[in-house]
Every structure is written in structure tokens, then in C-alpha cells.
Amino acid sequence: MKRRRRLLVLALVLAFVLVAYGLLGSGRAGLTVPQRLKETAATVRQSLSAGAARLFTRTSSDARTPGESTVTPHIAVYFAPAPLETPGGVDDALLTFLQGAKKSLFCAFYELQWNEAAKVLITQHRAGVAVKIVSDSDYAAREAVQLCMDAGIPVVVDKRNAFMHNKFCVADGERVWTGSTNVTQNCLYRNDNNALMIASPQIAANYSAEFGEMFADGKFGPRSPKSTAYPVVVVDGISIECYFAPEDKVQKEIVSEIDAAGENVDVMAFSFTADDIAEALARRMDKGVKVRALFETRNASSQYSDDDFLARQGAQVVMDRNSNTMHNKVIIIDGETVITGSYNFSKAAEKDNDENALIVHSPEVAKRYTQQFERLIK
């Protein structure tokens, strides 16, 4: 990956020189040398933006790794870990998302530890993009966070015991990056995770409002007001429900979806201590619904985990085989609906933390998540 990026930088420098030379030698009337160089820089920036757009709109048939999957023109799904030295993974997608912003980047990152992302945020800030960050106070001393602060990027932390657990960013009030993937080397290159990129001004408005409550108003956790302007949004014909915890009572929405399951439910859970959700799954199993659950091994050993309960009710329960961490928080229902986000299936997520969750009603999106589930459960 580093080699590919070095080659890209060299190619861009060469392109800049060639274009600049052409402009300087063309003798175009009325343009001074500084004006020509400014025009050249704009041309190069435009080329970079076009390249970013092409990366996002690459179709699934063009994907070079299982980490990337563009579902529709405005929805993309990515899975971690990203293959090292291979382009097109979740790491490249995140950097492209950040680089593509022209006006603003509002990022709520529980843990910002990946310096590559921090460097892009700093570059964008220096280019005039309004970059703002909310993070959890437990990770305020991370080098990447400090680099951003030293560069003048405003950073707000929650200053409380519960977590600001979101992993989302809003670009230009038009695009949203979210999911389970922290902006860390572990989450990008070692742990099992998922991320979505959705281009929708309405969903962006929801996430921007949530960001503003934390960044501008200092309202975290139970103090956060219920203020989602567009709780249900249709993107490319796909219905997406948008929720934030604790104000939107996410657990009730999850239970409602499970209660409607007719055939099967697949679960990928980093943490699963939510008894109400476990009991909803048990009710569906009593009606013949097949339940499979993949658990992060070390959390499943907790006395509060519901893995043993689900197994006793007839669920197929499997412990993950990743030597690092299975960090997903995903429920797939009937191959048609996906529940995902930062929201762990736990009391802390429901009552105390700042979290977000999406309920995506789409067989196409569900197919991508089911394929990832099958890869991980084997």
C-alpha cells in the first residue's frame, strides 16, 4: 500500500510539472505565471476529486478484495480487516471519504489512533475544510488526536465514565461514514469490523445534528435530546431507519425487527448482554425461526453474556476464530434487513453511551453481510 501511494504521489507531481510547463510555455494571453500555476493546481485537485469519485462508484464486480462492496450508487459496504498492501479496502475507502470533503468534516470517533487518518484531517483543515472532532476522553491522549489538536483542529471530549462510542463522520452535509470500525490500526487491519458509506443529505442531517449536540452543546449520553429529523430515509429505493442511543430506545427497535423475523436471524456480536434481545430471539426460535450467532470469544466467557442462554434455546452459537477481535455489532434478518452501527447489544449501549444504529431494509445489503457472516462462522 505504501509503495502504491508513493507511486501515486510521484505520478501527481509529474502531472503537475507537465501541466505547469505546458501552461507556462503556451504564452496564453492575460495570464501571469502565478495565475497559471493557480489554474494548474485547480486542475490537479479536480483530477484527484474525480479519482475519489471513481473509487466510490466502483461496482462489486470490479472489487479486488472482499473488503469492498458498492451496493448502489449511493451506498457502499466495507469489511475489515483490510488486506495489507492491497488497494480498495476499508482503509483506502475511509481515507478517500475524508479526502473527498470540500467544505466540512464532522467526525465523532471513539478512538482516533490511526495517524494516516489524522494526517488527512490536518491536510483538509489547512486547505480550509471545517474539520471538527468529538472523541472519548479515555483516548484524548492518543498521538493522532494530539496531532489534530496541535494543528488547530477543535476537539471536544465527553469527560465522563460512559463512552462516546460512535465511529461516524459527516462530509459536506451530504455523506456519512459509520459502522463498527474504530479509526485504529487494530480495527482496520486486525479485527473483524464493518463500515457503511451512505450519500444522503437527510441521513447526513441526522448525524450532523447528533454531532452538534455533543460538539457544540456538550450533551452526551442521557442528556442528548431526541431530535432525529429524518428517522426513515429512502436511498436508491432502500429504506434506512436511523437511531441514536440512548435517546431513541434502540433496543426496542431491534426487538421489534426480531419479532417480525419469519425464517432466520444471524448475529455477529462483540458483546451480547441484552436479555431483552436474547429473549426476542428465543421467542422466534419457538416459532421455528433459525438463529445463528457468532460471538467474540473473550466476551462470551463473561457471566453476563447471553451465548449460553441462546444455545440452550436452540441457537447455533459459534465463537469467533480471529486471534484478535470480532468487533461487529450486526443482526441480519431473513436475508432482507441489516441492523448495524456502533451499538453493542448491551445495557451500557442502551442506557449510558453515545451510540448510533442503522436498520437497513435491503436484500442487496443483507447479501453482503450474510456473505461476511458465512466467511467468519466457518
- Residue 132: active-site member: no
pLDDT at 141: 97
pLDDT at 69: 79
What pTM, to 2 d.p., does this model score? Answer: 0.83
Same domain, 6 and 130: no
In a domain, 315, yes or no: yes
| Nearest by Cα to 133 from 154, 159, 103 | 154
Same domain, 300 and 258: yes
- Residue 125: active-site member: no
In a domain, 50, yes or no: no
- Structural domain including 129 reads 60-233
In a domain, 53, yes or no: no
Catalytic residue among 165, 329, 354, 367: 329
In a domain, 164, yes or no: yes
Same domain, 112 and 213: yes
In a domain, 182, yes or no: yes
Whichever domain contains 67, its CATH number is: 3.30.870.10
What one-character-per-residue DSSP string does 19-74 give?
Answer: HHHHHHHHT-TT--HHHHHHHHHHHHHHHHHHHHHHHHH--GGG-SSTTEEEEETT
Same domain, 161 and 203: yes
Same domain, 212 and 290: no
Catalytic residue among 102, 236, 334, 347: 334
Question: How many domains does one find in the chain?
Answer: 3
Same domain, 229 and 252: no
Same domain, 80 and 167: yes
Q: What is the mean pLDDT of each run of 10 residues along the chain (378 residues)?
A: 44 40 34 35 36 34 46 96 88 97 98 98 98 98 98 97 98 98 98 98 98 98 95 98 98 98 98 98 98 96 94 98 97 98 98 98 98 96
In a domain, 52, yes or no: no
- Residue 329: active-site member: yes
